[in-house]
Structure 1
Amino acid sequence: MTLGKVAITGGHGFLGWHTACRLRALHATDPVRLGRDDFADLDVLATRLADVDAIIHIAGVNRAENDALVEGGNIELAQTLASALATIGKPMDVVFANSVQADLDNAYGRGKAGAAAIVGGAVRAVGGHFADLLLPNLFGEHGRPGYNSFVATFVHEVVAGRTPTVSGDREIPLLHAQDAAEVLISSLGTDVRKVVDAEPVRVGEVLSLLQEFHRLYAERGEIPDISTSMRRNLFNTYRAAAFPDMWPVSPQVHGDNRGDLYETVRAHGGTGMAFMSTTLPGQKRGEHYHLHKVERFFVVKGEAEIELRRLLHDNVVTFRLSGDKPSFVDMPALWVHNIRNVGDTELVTMFWSDQLLDHANPDQFPEAIAQEAIA
């Protein structure tokens, strides 16, 4: 799929960030990411949109002090975007990240339905295509607890060692943010209104899985069963919330007259690949990121520095590891990472990932840690 220049409203929020990451990884494009400041001034918004070919409209109001602000906030954002489209006056393809609640009579649903009508009318008036996608409950890495989804709230509580309360356990359709981003991107240039499919999962089951992950991963160092997409996506969501506070981890060392023995990776009911490498002083490996792969770096011998940067962010997290105290760090999905030999001797590192290397689809995208500041 060939894309022109794409803008994302709400581009710095949860789904906006996931969508921008996917555009970079799979379409080699960095979108124009629009935030609150851009919508505060119609002229500024029109200027930033003037040379784009398509817009993914994600910006919205999920929660506010009262229902009127929720409903009115979504309408106001739509009106501002519609005015900008009219000002620009050229055909523009727009995909709207709507909600399944748009068919319900509540403040959020009315606001999203009204926004769809306003933006859709403005797009058709300038001769563009409009896709209205009704998204279910979304979850994924770096969601805000108490705001984006109950999954984000559960993850936050479980990582902190607390047990959230499940009230009214029921089945809820869940969709990972990367899957939502894929649907948004693939719908560019189409005229459609549809409900996006999701996997029904009970609220209590989500909590049980997160508690299972915490027990196996944080308390015992085991990689849990991630044999299904839902398990893997929930596990990556959990790992994002646990990072970087739980790292590095130093396993127990068992020594005798033969030397030292320590367990690096134990896959709990899963499959994976472990491997070793040697790195000469001053040399570096990595400089890439993954969309889904679960990966662990274990320093066995030598002195290493591991750097990680969340994709589309500037701040770098750095860990110093030494073979004198064997330790490991797991690479979160959607974080650029590398490992460098900072010692005077050979560095010996063991690596593990949850999937065998597929040369046709390696889930590995080159990117340097060092970069210019992101606007």
Structure 2
Amino acid sequence: MKVVVTGSGGFLGWHTRLRLRALTDHEVLPVDRDSWAGLTEAVSDADAVMHIAGVNRADDETVRQGNEDLARGLAEAVAATSHPTRVVYANSIHDGNGTAYGLGKGRAREILAEAAEATGGSLVDVRLPNLFGEHGRPAYNSFVANFVHAVRDGSAPTVNDSEVGLLHAQGAAAALIDGLTGDARRIDPPSTPATVQGVLDLLREFKASYDTGEIPDLSTAFRVDLFNTYRAALFPEHYPIALKPHTDPRGTFVETIRVRGGEGQASFSTTVPGVTRGEHFHLRKVERFAVIAGEARISLRKMFTDEVVDFAVSGAQPCAIDMPVGWVHNITNTGSDTLVTQFWSHELHRPEDPDTYPEPVRPQGASA
């Protein structure tokens, strides 16, 4: 299936592209602000469009009109096609609540439904709650992003406590992908109930543990998602994490991982000189690399970007690197001796669901 994704350069757009790359064989045509002029050509032979582009931070008239205008632009592109087109619309639970944002999202839904149905296609209305996740922008995407950066930087954010339903961006992406097939014309993905103050308290708990190199309690899916969101904001400046050697006449002891709760699995590998391991990314896994002996280069690249982050590590100076979700990574033996590396993940390895998706850190032709 050929799928156009509008708003591909934004927060939810990135997460949706990541999930599409990991779990489907769909051909994805990303469209963002810089490529919006080519929208009609992109849609002309597409089987479906995921409309994620939107306006949610501006004055009321700009928010309302901006969402309508984006929908009209996509409607014109859909109308120019000669085949039925399914439009999966990243709508909001605020549709119908009378706010400028809700009015704009509701009117956009009507515009897109009319255009899709005119081609013999259909609209799938995905009503999304408050979203959070890795690489959210503070003062733009959600209060969670505000809190993540405030806790990271040691500042005290203003809290207007209330109950809220939260959905990780990967859950939203899953709902949008579900909309590509099936007969459902409206999807209401479930959210996790939380309080604003409770989110801040959890992030502070994570910081207190993680500042020491310790992994906090990850006993629920919500905790895993929120911790992954927090540690993404620390990368790469927070790494590597120094590990303290304890040396006596017998030798040296180094603790590489301490975990507060949940399951986990540790393993180690040996790697001969010049060989690279890894070349994959994860959607949810918390994973730590710690070199025990030898010399290595750990390399990471955020998906759909070109910049590679390299860390030179050595067993002579113990340290750990934690892999952010959605960053393809590898480890290369750069020394002349066998490399010994310990790996840890927060969950047990399950062959039926390994959460490991092949991708090169440096695509063919890229410079090392």
Taking structure 1 as the reference length, the TM-score comes to: 0.95
- 8 A Cα contact 2:328 2:361, kept in partner: yes
- 8 A Cα contact 2:244 2:318, kept in partner: no
Which amino acid in the other structure matches residue 281 of structure 1?
P
Instruction: Give the paired residue count.
Output: 365
1:157 matched residue in structure 2: 150
Distance 2:213 2:329 in 1: 21
* 1:42-57 equivalences in 2 (<5 Å): 44-57=38-51
Distance 1:28 1:164 in 2: 42
* 1:1-375 equivalences in 2 (<5 Å): 4-39=1-36, 41=37, 44-64=38-58, 66-167=59-160, 169-189=161-181, 190-218=183-211, 220-371=212-363
- 8 A Cα contact 1:134 1:195, kept in partner: yes
Distance 1:62 1:247 in 2: 33
Which amino acid in the other structure matches residue 85 of structure 1?
V
Which amino acid in the other structure matches residue 51 of structure 2?
H
1:173-201: CA deviation from partner (whole Å, max 9, x where unpaired) = 00000011001111124451343321110
Distance 2:12 2:349 in 1: 28
Q: Is the partner of 2:361 in helix, strand or coil?
A: coil
Q: 1:343 to 1:162 in 2, by over 3 A?
A: same
Distance 1:322 1:196 in 2: 45
1:22-79: CA deviation from partner (whole Å, max 9, x where unpaired) = 011010335111011333x3xx321121121101100000112x21111000000011
1:136-194: CA deviation from partner (whole Å, max 9, x where unpaired) = 00000101011000001100111112221212x11100000001100111112445134
Distance 1:30 1:12 in 2: 17
Q: Is the partner of 2:94 in helix, strand or coil?
A: helix
Distance 1:271 1:59 in 2: 38
Gap runs ≥5 in structure 1: none
Distance 2:195 2:27 in 1: 36
- 8 A Cα contact 1:314 1:373, kept in partner: no
Q: 1:289 to 1:194 in 2, by over 3 A?
A: closer
Identity in percent: 51
Q: 1:81 to 1:246 in 2, by over 3 A?
A: same
- 8 A Cα contact 2:45 2:81, kept in partner: no
Gap runs ≥5 in structure 2: none
Distance 1:358 1:191 in 2: 31
Q: Which 4+ stretches in 1 moved above 6 angstroms?
A: none
Taking structure 2 as the reference length, the TM-score comes to: 0.97
